[in-house]
Structure 1
Amino acid sequence: MRTSPVRQRGFTLIELMVAIGILALVALLSWRGLDAMVRVQQGTQNRSDQIAVVQTALAQWRVDLDAMLPGAGGKQPVLDWDGRTLRVLRLASPETQTATEAGAGQAQQSLWTPATVVVAWTLRSACPRSLADASSGEAANGAAPGPCWMRWQSPQLRTHGEQQQAWQQAASWGSGAQGEAAGSQVMLPLQAWEVLGYRDDVWGPVKGLPVGNAPAGGTGGTGGTGDTGGIGGAGGASSGTPGAAPNPVPDGLRLQLTLPGQGTGIAGSLTVDWLQPTLTRERS
């Protein structure tokens, strides 16, 4: 008895094309899903980086104010806000150690002498390209950087004359006369900013706050620099009255920032309050 051979049947061309089409569709959907996940991850990382930049800038802002020199009775203003630039005279960090000779035949002694620096904060309508590229690491499509918040710091200062010179240099830098001066640093993109002062339970302009028992016309001391509007300086007042009490440093400062949003992913207004670390208030 003969048996018929088993017929082996393979896939037809149409079946192969259908299978390949299904595999291609699955691969396309998988790729689009992975691409969406990568985009979301990149967006989250970029936003986290931008938030970190804002936090770093605000941390530096607080450090500068916390290290500000006491303004009572000083010859040099320690704080000034002219509506565009904020200048602060603060302690340098860390302090610089200097060595002096005690005399012949005696060992050399090391004395800690506190150094000071002048810092300034301002808003530039257009960031200097080199500083912006160095800060962000890239320029967007080669376009000119937009408005940004910038900080300048002087070298360490030892004498009152050096403080006066650095104070004037900070004002010149804030007006844009010095351009990309040494010590300049881009902090973050910013659309606008404002600074208010707090004194006697009132928030208001830094130069127009109540001054307690200060004589009339005794605000805005010049501090001997020929620079009006300084706070905490001694000497004549803005009215020219000799010996008038200077405008004391406010008990607190309110920083109001308007973030640009375009190209940064962070938009809206941000308000940060700072109070003097030594401020005390009696409980009622």
Structure 2
Amino acid sequence: MGPHAPPLRGSLPPEGAVSPWGGPTADRGPHAPPLRGSLPPEGAVSPWGGPTADRGPHAPPLRGSLPPEGAVSPWGCPTAKRGFWQRCRHQAGFTLIELLVALAVMSMLAILSWRSIDGMNRTQTLTQQRADELLRLQAALGQWHADLDAVVNTDELNPLQFDGKLLRMTRRDSGDNGLNSAGVRVVAWSRLGRADAPGAQWMRWQSAPVQRRNELAEAWQRAAEWAASGAADGRDSAVALAGIDQWQLFYHRGETWGNSLSSVGNESAGVLTVSEGSIPNGVRLVLTLTPGQGLSGILVRDWVRPTLQAGRT
């Protein structure tokens, strides 16, 4: 460093040195302001007239300075020369009490969610079961009307015969006509108990198509045996339709409704005879449905003979 080299930044020029601008350097007296970033000597007076504060061991560090090795930060973690903020950030976490409270809250939410889902599943299952029962009952009543609409008089047996427990009828198939017919079927309706279902069921039985007199008589007899035993022959079929407690039939003849087993509204008491051979003008079905199903109570359905003509006045 020659005599005319510029001084180092932050250093004081020697006594009597000439500044780069051609004038003598100022003598920094005892009251000259300290250099930026330096500490005043012990007991020095500040530029504002008061003594400078003594920085004790617990005084906060100056801005821009590094804490000493091993010092503890105000946030509770040790300081370091490098990576101070990164380590403080990684060491922050939850306490044990906070974790236990969070686990308890999540457990309660899981229990409430499970109960809600279980209730929704039960409601959906019950709704589907009730809907299936209603559809099955609706299909049964539709089949009942279809059987009565297709009743045919064979002049061999009663077209409709009800003994209080079993209703038997002879009917043709829906696709039969005067030129093409597979035969006549015997259809029976009854209330029977089943081992695989609670309570008694309203059931329908039908035979295969028959074309001869002896076959018709045998099918008629098998219907009676089915009502007594509840077992269908291999040639026949039976199906349970709805749970009922009891059922009744009423015939409409003349001007009144009468019980099919009484003489009120009928020409004679008891079941119809072959000589009478006529189909009633209407049939009233009264079902007492078993409680606990999709539909319960008393159900009444009337059927009117399709070929019935209006009476003359």
> Same fold, TM exceeding 0.5?
yes
Q: Compared with structure 1, are the counterparts of its residues 266 and 81 closer, same or farther at alpha carbon in structure 2 (3 Å cutoff)?
A: same
Say yes or no: does 1:274 pair with 2:298: no
Name the SS of the counterpart of 1:253 in structure 2.
Answer: strand
Matches within 5 A, 1:187-198: 187-198=241-252
Q: Following the alignment from structure 1 to structure 2, what is the Cα–Cα distance between the partners of residues 283 and 257? A: 33
Equivalent residue for 1:186? 240
Q: Following the alignment from structure 1 to structure 2, what is the Cα–Cα distance between the partners of residues 268 and 82? A: 24
Q: Following the alignment from structure 1 to structure 2, what is the Cα–Cα distance between the partners of residues 260 and 154? A: 28
Q: Is the 8 A contact 1:251 1:275 kept in 2?
A: yes
Equivalent residue for 1:252? 282
Task: Give the letter for the 2:201 counterpart.
Answer: C
**Match 1:89 to one of 170, 186, 189:** 170
Scaled by the length of structure 2, the TM-score of the pair is 0.65
Q: Following the alignment from structure 1 to structure 2, what is the Cα–Cα distance between the partners of residues 178 and 13? A: 70
Q: Compared with structure 1, are the counterparts of its residues 260 and 87 closer, same or farther at alpha carbon in structure 2 (3 Å cutoff)?
A: same
Equivalent residue for 1:173? 226
Q: Is the 8 A contact 1:96 1:114 kept in 2?
A: no
Higher Rg: 2
Equivalent residue for 1:106? none
Name the SS of the counterpart of 1:164 in structure 2.
Answer: helix
Say yes or no: does 1:122 pair with 2:215: no
Q: Is the 8 A contact 2:251 2:265 kept in 1?
A: no
Task: Give the letter for the 1:202 counterpart.
Answer: T
How far has the Cα of 1:173 moved from its partner?
Answer: 2.5
How far has the Cα of 1:167 moved from its partner?
Answer: 2.1
Q: Is the 8 A contact 2:289 2:297 kept in 1?
A: yes
Scaled by the length of structure 1, the TM-score of the pair is 0.71
RMSD, matched Cα: 2.7
Equivalent residue for 2:253? 199
How far has the Cα of 1:177 moved from its partner?
Answer: 4.5
Task: Give the letter for the 2:149 counterpart.
Answer: D
Q: Is the 8 A contact 2:260 2:271 kept in 1?
A: no
Say yes or no: does 1:29 pair with 2:82: no
How far has the Cα of 1:209 moved from its partner?
Answer: 4.3
Q: Following the alignment from structure 1 to structure 2, what is the Cα–Cα distance between the partners of residues 84 and 30? A: 52
Q: Mark the runs of 5 or more structure 1 residues left unpaired by the alignment.
A: 98-110, 133-138, 140-144, 212-217, 221-227, 235-245
More strand by share: 1
Matches within 5 A, 1:1-284: 1-3=65-67, 4=73, 5=79, 7-8=88-89, 9-70=92-153, 74-95=155-176, 112-113=180-181, 115-124=183-192, 126-127=193-194, 129=195, 132=196, 145-174=198-227, 176-177=228-229, 179-182=231-234, 183-207=237-261, 208-210=263-265, 219=268, 229-231=271-273, 233-234=274-275, 246=276, 248-262=278-292, 264-282=293-311
Greater RCO, CA 8 A, separation 6+:
1
Q: Following the alignment from structure 1 to structure 2, what is the Cα–Cα distance between the partners of residues 113 and 21? A: 76
Task: Give the letter for the 2:259 counterpart.
Answer: P
Name the SS of the counterpart of 2:152 in structure 1.
Answer: coil
How far has the Cα of 1:178 moved from its partner?
Answer: 6.7
Q: Compared with structure 1, are the counterparts of its residues 56 and 25 closer, same or farther at alpha carbon in structure 2 (3 Å cutoff)?
A: same
Q: Is the 8 A contact 2:290 2:297 kept in 1?
A: yes
Q: Following the alignment from structure 2 to structure 1, what is the Cα–Cα distance between the partners of residues 264 and 217? A: 25
How far has the Cα of 1:247 moved from its partner?
Answer: 5.9
Question: What is the percent sequence identity of the aligned residues?
Answer: 35
Task: Give the letter for the 1:210 counterpart.
Answer: G
Name the SS of the counterpart of 1:112 in structure 2.
Answer: coil
CA displacement 1:22-59 (0-9 Å, x = unmatched) = 11111211111111111111110010011111112111
Q: Following the alignment from structure 2 to structure 1, what is the Cα–Cα distance between the partners of residues 225 and 108? A: 64
Q: Compared with structure 1, are the counterparts of its residues 20 and 177 closer, same or farther at alpha carbon in structure 2 (3 Å cutoff)?
A: closer
Alignment length (residue pairs): 227
